[in-house]
Amino acid sequence: MNKIAILCSGGDVSGMNPAIKRFVEYSFEQGLKPYFVYGGFDGLIDNTIKEAGYSDVAGIIHRGGTKIYSARSTRFKEEKFRAIAAKNLRTLGIDKLVVLGGDGSFHGMELFFKEQNISFCGIPSTIDNDINGTQYCLGVDTALNVIKTATDNIRDTASSFKRAFVIEVMGRDCGYLALVSALTSGAEMCLIPEIPYDLDTIKKRFLREVKEGRNYFIAVVAEGLKNSQEIAQWFEKEIGFESRVTVLGHIQRGGNPTVRERLMAYQFTTYAIDALCSGQKDSVICYSNGAFESKSIKEITTKKYEIGEELLTLGKRLLQK
Ligand code: ATP
């Protein structure tokens, strides 16, 4: 029986557990013996690789995080440790690997494949949604829903007081989460690294709106700008509103996977196993314009992700109202 393994690398996301469940079930359906690598790339190096069965994935579909743990491995960045990782897989007779991870993990896998020729298929998994070649990464929908709930709650309190709330949203250098959150939560302001802004222009509009009766503000700011406190002070000084900063932080990674997330996990994993079974050696499953497609890892890693023009235009309009 051919053997296949799965691992999670980088930041954990909600949706990994449903993917792991589908992995076990679909592997069996395809006549493959499934294995879990516990603890990401460190698990490959330390040989924490175990055969998996149906009972391992019972009762996990609704849980955030990952049952098989994730890791950021500094050792995997060194060739000698990647060689140990490959040796461990070969000793167990595993020649196919499904990798759930972000941009960094895929750079690691590109090197690993070049050096060791072990077939892998990547499933984009990061709440930052910053992987080139795919419009969707696992974890994003759940994170957006967590942010939506938090922002709705903040709006309740904001509307009871004359205050400005600055909500800092994750995404590393990518403003996708902040932009979609701002558009879908009715924020008055959205600041992200991808859209230049002019505080003087925004000030004129806000002061006019205050005159017309506005008595609170919600501003969504991407963590990549590193200026949430500064924006809060700007509200106090320039707009004359008492302000509060809420850094949403790690709550954005948790929460039980949404329906969309579970379906995406199911489909991503099915496509990943199909890609490996059809002989593809170094691919990533991407989701664009409503369809799944397998792309070579080179296509993914040679360019930086950019938010789609249509969304960016909506973000710009929000600033120019
Ligand atoms: P997230 O977007 O959630 O942070 P990520 O996959 O981008 O996920 P990273 O911490 O950047 O998270 O990368 C995960 C792991 O991938 C690293 O700990 C390291 O083991 C490996 N990795 C990252 N970049 C490289 C690289 N250039 N060469 C080899 N391995 C790498």
Report whether pLDDT(296) > 80: yes
Report whether pLDDT(1) > 90: no
Report whether pLDDT(158) > 90: no
Residue 72 near ligand 1, beta carbon < 6 Å: yes
Residues 6+ apart with CB under 8 A from 35: 3, 4, 5, 6, 49, 50, 51, 52, 92, 94
**How would residue 30 be classed by pLDDT, with cut points 50, 70 and 90?**
very high
Ramachandran class of 245: left when φ > 0, alpha when ψ lies in -120 to 50, beta otherwise: beta
Cα–Cα distance, 290 to 146 (Å, whole number):
23
Task: Please tell me what DSSP assigns to residue 235.
Answer: I
Do the beta carbons of residue 301 and residue 133 sit within 8 Å? no
For residue 173, which of 158, 194, 155 has the smallest C-alpha distance? 194
Architecture of domain 140-253 in this structure: 3-Layer(aba) Sandwich (3.40)
Cα–Cα distance, 257 to 33 (Å, whole number):
26
Cα–Cα distance, 234 to 177 (Å, whole number):
23
> Quick one: CA torsion of 10, 11, 17, 23, rounded to 10 degrees?
-20
Atom of ligand 1 nearest to the CA of 106: 6
Cα–Cα distance, 88 to 5 (Å, whole number):
12
Residue 163 phi/psi, 5° resolution?
-140, 160
pLDDT score of 256: 95
Residue 252 near ligand 1, beta carbon < 6 Å: no
Provide mean pLDDT across the span 199-228: 96
CATH topology of domain 3-139+257-303: Rossmann fold (3.40.50)
Distance of CA 39 from the midpoint of ligand 1 (Å): 13
More confident position, 199 or 156: 199
Residue 132 near ligand 1, beta carbon < 6 Å: no
Task: Please tell me what DSSP assigns to residue 257.
Answer: P
pLDDT score of 319: 83
Provide mean pLDDT across the span 250-265: 96
Question: Going by CA atoms, what residue is nearest to atom 26 of ligand 1?
Answer: 108
Least confident among 23-27, 76-80, 161-165, 292-296: 161-165
Report whether pLDDT(318) > 80: yes
C-alpha torsion sign, points 135, 139, 145, 151: negative
Residue 220 phi/psi, 5° resolution?
-100, 125
Side-chain-side CA neighbours of residue 102 (13 Å):
20
| Residue 37 Cα distances to 160, 172, 198, angstroms | 50, 27, 48
pLDDT score of 150: 97
Most informative mutation of 72, 112, 252 for ligand 1 (most atoms within 8 A of CB): 72
pLDDT score of 160: 84
Which residues are tagged catalytic?
A: 128
Cα–Cα distance, 190 to 109 (Å, whole number):
35
pLDDT score of 196: 96
Question: Going by CA atoms, what residue is nearest to atom 20 of ligand 1?
Answer: 73
Residue 102 near ligand 1, beta carbon < 6 Å: yes
> Could you read off the pLDDT of 93-134 as tens digits, one per residue?
999 999 999 999 999 999 999 999 999 999 999 999 999 999
How do strand 119-124 and strand 94-101 relate by DSSP bridges? Answer: parallel
pLDDT score of 321: 72
**Per-domain residue ranges of the chain:** 3-139+257-303, 140-253
Cα–Cα distance, 317 to 281 (Å, whole number):
43
Provide mean pLDDT across the span 218-243: 97
| Residue 86 Cα distances to 110, 116, 127, angstroms | 13, 6, 28
3-state secondary structure of 175: coil
Provide mean pLDDT across the span 202-208: 96
Provide mean pLDDT across the span 46-61: 98
Cα–Cα distance, 191 to 13 (Å, whole number):
24
- Helices marked H in 118-254: 140-158, 176-185, 199-211, 228-234
Do the beta carbons of residue 42 and residue 75 sit within 8 Å? yes
Residue 133 near ligand 1, beta carbon < 6 Å: no
Determine if the pTM surpasses 0.85.
yes
For all residues of the chain together, what is the average pLDDT?
Answer: 96
Q: What is the amino acid identity at position 121?
A: C
Token readout for 144 is 């957006």
